[in-house]
Amino acid sequence: MRRGRRLMVLAAAILAAGLGYLVFEARVAREFDALDSSSPARVLARPWTLRAGDRVDPRRIIDHLEKVGYRSVSGRTPQTGEFSTRGRDLLVGRRALRLGGLVDPGVRARVRFQRNGRISAIRDVEGNNLEQLLLDPEVIGASLGQRSRDRVPVRLDEVPEHLVDALLTVEDRRFHEHGALDLRRIAGAALSNLRQRRIAEGGSTITQQLARTLFLSTDRTVLRKVREAAIAVALERRFSKHRLLEAYVNHIYLGQHGGTAIHGFGRAAQFYFGRDISELTLGQSAMLVGIVRGPSVYSPHRHPERARARRDMVLRQMHAVGHLDDARRDAELEADPEIRLPPERNFDARWYLDFLRRELAAGDASLNPEGGGPAVISSLVPELQRAAETAVSSGIRSMERRRPRLTEQAAPLQGALVALDPRTGDILAMVGGRSYGESQFNRAADARRQPGSAFKPVVALAALTPGADPSFTLASVLKDEPLALDTPAGVWKPANADRAFLGPIRLREALEGSRNVPFARLGLAVGPERIIEIARRLGIEGPLAPYPSLALGASEVTLLELTAAYAVLAAEGRRTPPRSAIAVFGRDGAIRQTAAGRSDAVISPAEAYLITSALRGVVDRGTGRGVREAGYHGPVAAKSGTTNGSRDAWFVGYTPELAVGVWVGFDDGMPTGLSGSRAALPIFADFMIRVLGSRGGRGFRAPAGVEWIDIQPETGLRAGWGCRGEPELFLSGTAPEASCGYWRVPRRRTTMSPATMSPATR
């Protein structure tokens, strides 16, 4: 009877142990699936697409290719991951691009340039014309999760065969024959270690190493080895050899980059050689396999001779087991491994990345890159970000050198810059201050400050829009003379910056010269409600107080808001809200979210062009002429802004392809003593020259619905016999019919209601 009880107890114990192991095995399988499927959320720059007709310096393309790991070759046709130049041709072996779930197959392309720098044609190696050539985007950031592991997951069929051969040769030759443990190898390793009286050889299988990498610490204890073996058995029972080998290739530790651990051969190929894993040579694969045993000891960057010796050992072992013949072994032993240091990123996009993460999380919490997994195609253009950071930092330092008193404040002088693509709303560059390390507050997106005169184009648009009552044109004459207005807060007396008055002045001249009093009168005539309506159309969403001072920029806006409003003018009246993410891909590679760049026509192209015409005059003749003095001579429309007491300095402008806003000031609102033209304009001009060159980019085109008419400057009337005029731009049919000369121009319309007459004709 006692024997029966013992058997029952033993059976129960065995059953409990079995059930316990099954629970353990299931947990290991779940955790393995989660760990293997997770990956860093990589944020990619906006892809650069080349098209025939583009004007681009070939050196910019070459610089970009080098930054993303392409190698320059000569004397032969470039293969995948290579490029070369022949005369005015640039030959590129473009890699296959995997942008989340989108795959663009690799292609060998020839880009032909004209003498003027335009691309005349893009063809493949067979001579077929290509509509476009998409270049590899730079990685601008990654969320690595709590483990700070950086890796680039790859499929096993993407891994070169010689890397797999090298790995199995050195780490586990019988991988496909044994189970979780290789008892023969364990016994052999133990015997060897006894002979040498030290740990000279390990007996861990690839599955054991994988278990250690994913689940365990690096402590060398008997308990850890037991747990390692148990986890390895569970993995081998639940998963195929193919899956386990692929996981090993993706997770094994292969070095350190600062505080970030490099895991997996996909990332290591980039980190040590600047190559995609598919482009590794046999020698490079052997070197990577060689450093598995001790990445800190055999690091190709820190110990190149040790790494080379380790590579040679791997090659000799591959030869010994028959993977290499004598000639191949000898050739690879002599070959240069072409070790490359990881490219230093010479820009800091952390304000932008913070903004991107916030925008994604606000839209869908599951898309937050901090959660790991998704790939994000961002709107950022690294070249523009570098230019923006350089322009802001050098501009602030230059101001502080010229005016040392700026450094005597409790907090440092700050600057911010944002650049948008008016056609898509893409945020191309964002600088939120002078140093992210000192302050993470994003002054480009989050600081609400008074824009001063930089708000005047909104007021002018409200006055020039058809249907306004009273109606105005750029030739309308305004009074530049003292104004006093009773308000609930007291008497409001706006003043010009120069404390002078010019008398009658045309609206265009008032905008070009940034005259406050005429614009205060214009705002009173138009009304704050109409100004707010136009501001909302342009995308300004913050609070706008309906007071007379609104016309002079007394209500607070963000730099991003105001720059986006100017972008509507650059886009010929179409508003596309700013976006930081173009597309987001989930862990499975499927598109989770796209930002299509919704575009709405909020004003007519003709209305936008009127303001553009006046703002071009600001740069050519008015308060923005410092842009020309700084050396930028391309097409541009812009406006400066300065608030009371010189607390905030603004300069916002645009071309057909770029809208840029700059702000300079102190966080606590202390006066800088500098106007927008002195503080923000130099940064704006520096950025434009760095990005578009001194000659600039595309010019503005005049849309239908506008006409040039000669106008007498003093009266705003149509020029005629006895009085000469200057050309002025009007919406078609809105030019004054009255002439300043002896003869009157025949009326175009039989009647003109007072509501549609300009003040100059009444």
Q: What is the pLDDT of residue 99?
A: 66
Q: Show Cβ contacts of residue 420 under 8 Å, excluding neighbours closer than 6 positions.
A: 426, 427, 428, 563, 564, 567, 578, 658, 659, 660
Average pLDDT over residues 118-129: 91
Condensed to tens digits (0 to 9), the pLDDT of residues 479-489 reads 999 999 888 87
Q: What is the pLDDT of residue 232?
A: 82
Of 86, 82, 114, nearest to 95 by C-alpha is 82
Residue 47's pLDDT band, with cuts at 50, 70 and 90, is confident
Statement: the pTM of the whole predicted model exceeds 0.75? yes
Q: Is the pLDDT of residue 137 over 60?
A: yes
Structure tokens at 313: 């050992």
What is the gyration radius of the CA atoms in the chain, in angstroms?
A: 34
Structure tokens at 708: 């040039």
Q: Is the pLDDT of residue 224 over 60?
A: yes
Q: Is the pLDDT of residue 200 over 50?
A: no
Looking at residue 87, its amino acid is: G
Residue 745's pLDDT band, with cuts at 50, 70 and 90, is very low
Element (H, E) at 329: helix 326-334
Of 358, 348, 359, 354, nearest to 578 by C-alpha is 359
Average pLDDT over residues 647-665: 97
> Quick check: bond before 504 cis, omega within 30?
no
Which residues of 647-723 form beta strands (DSSP E)? 648-655, 658-665, 706-711
Q: Is the Cβ–Cβ distance between 662 and 680 less than 8 Å?
A: yes
Q: What is the pLDDT of residue 758?
A: 31
Q: Is the pLDDT of residue 155 over 60?
A: yes
Long-range CB pairs of 540-543 (<8 Å, 24+ gap) are 540/458, 540/565, 542/448
Structure tokens at 719: 């020029």
Q: What percent of the chain has pLDDT over 90?
A: 56
Of 682, 692, 753, 743, nearest to 718 by C-alpha is 743
Condensed to tens digits (0 to 9), the pLDDT of residues 416-466 reads 999 999 999 999 999 999 999 999 999 999 999 999 999 999 999 999 988
Q: Is the Cβ–Cβ distance between 232 and 121 less than 8 Å?
A: no
Condensed to tens digits (0 to 9), the pLDDT of residues 238-265 reads 889 999 999 999 999 999 887 788 999 9
By DSSP bridging, strand 253-257 and strand 375-378 are unpaired
Residue 285's pLDDT band, with cuts at 50, 70 and 90, is very high
Residue 573 has phi, psi (to 5 degrees) of 95, 0
Kindly write down the DSSP assignment for every residue of 500-561, as one continuous string.
---EEEEHHHHHHTT-HHHHHHHHHHH-HHHHHHHHHHTT--S----SGGGGGT-S-B-HHH
Q: What is the 8-class DSSP label of residue 762?
A: -
Question: Residues, the chain, total?
Answer: 762
Q: Rounded CA gap, 677 and 641, in Å?
A: 8
Q: What is the 8-class DSSP label of residue 656?
A: T
Condensed to tens digits (0 to 9), the pLDDT of residues 621-642 reads 999 999 999 999 999 999 999 9
Structure tokens at 325: 């013949």
Q: What is the pLDDT of residue 586?
A: 66
Q: Is the pLDDT of residue 116 over 90?
A: no
Structure tokens at 193: 């270690």
Of 598, 259, 652, 623, nearest to 449 by C-alpha is 652
Q: Using alpha carbons only, what angle is made at residue 663 by residues 658 and 667, rounded to the nearest 5 degrees?
A: 150
Q: What is the 8-class DSSP label of residue 753?
A: -
Element (H, E) at 112: strand 107-113
Of 256, 250, 267, nearest to 69 by C-alpha is 267
Q: Is the pLDDT of residue 663 over 90?
A: yes
The mean predicted confidence, pLDDT, of the chain is 86
Q: What is the 8-class DSSP label of residue 52?
A: T
Structure tokens at 426: 């893409």
Looking at residue 468, its amino acid is: A
Q: What is the 8-class DSSP label of residue 602?
A: -
Element (H, E) at 328: helix 326-334
Q: What is the pLDDT of residue 145?
A: 60
Dihedral angle computed from the Cα positions of residues 95, 99, 100 and 101, in that order, rounded to the nearest 10 degrees: -80
By DSSP bridging, strand 89-94 and strand 107-113 are antiparallel
Of the segments 11-20, 117-126, 735-744, which one has the largest average pLDDT value?
Answer: 117-126
Q: Is the Cβ–Cβ distance between 479 and 686 less than 8 Å?
A: no
Looking at residue 155, its amino acid is: R
Residue 580's pLDDT band, with cuts at 50, 70 and 90, is very high
Average pLDDT over residues 689-696: 92
Element (H, E) at 109: strand 107-113
Dihedral angle computed from the Cα positions of residues 606, 612, 613 and 619, in that order, rounded to the nearest 10 degrees: 180
Q: What is the pLDDT of residue 144?
A: 60
Q: Is the pLDDT of residue 148 over 90?
A: no
Q: Is the pLDDT of residue 123 over 90?
A: yes
Q: Is the pLDDT of residue 650 over 50?
A: yes
Q: What is the pLDDT of residue 456?
A: 97
Q: What is the pLDDT of residue 9?
A: 64
Q: Rounded CA gap, 545 and 555, in Å?
A: 6
Q: What is the 8-class DSSP label of residue 696?
A: -
Kindly write down the DSSP assignment for every residue of 238-296, as one continuous string.
HS-HHHHHHHHHHH-EEEEETTEEEESHHHHHHHHHSS-GGG--HHHHHHHHHGGG-TT
Secondary-structure percent of the chain, ordered helix, strand, coil, rounded to 5: 40, 20, 40
Q: Is 751 exposed, middle or buried (0-12, 13-18, 19+ CB in 10 A)?
A: exposed
Average pLDDT over residues 123-132: 90
- Please identify which residue in the block is written with the tokens 């482009």: 279
Residue 762's pLDDT band, with cuts at 50, 70 and 90, is very low
Q: What is the pLDDT of residue 753?
A: 31
Q: Rounded CA gap, 284 and 469, in Å?
A: 75
Condensed to tens digits (0 to 9), the pLDDT of residues 305-333 reads 999 999 999 999 999 999 999 999 999 99
Q: Is the pLDDT of residue 754 over 70?
A: no
Of 518, 507, 517, 525, nearest to 470 by C-alpha is 525
Kindly write down the DSSP assignment for every residue of 125-190, as one continuous string.
TT--B-S-EEEPPPEEEEE-TTTTEE-----GGGS-HHHHHHHHHHH-TTTTTS-SS-HHHHHHHH
Q: Is the Cβ–Cβ distance between 351 and 359 less than 8 Å?
A: no
Q: What is the pLDDT of residue 591?
A: 62
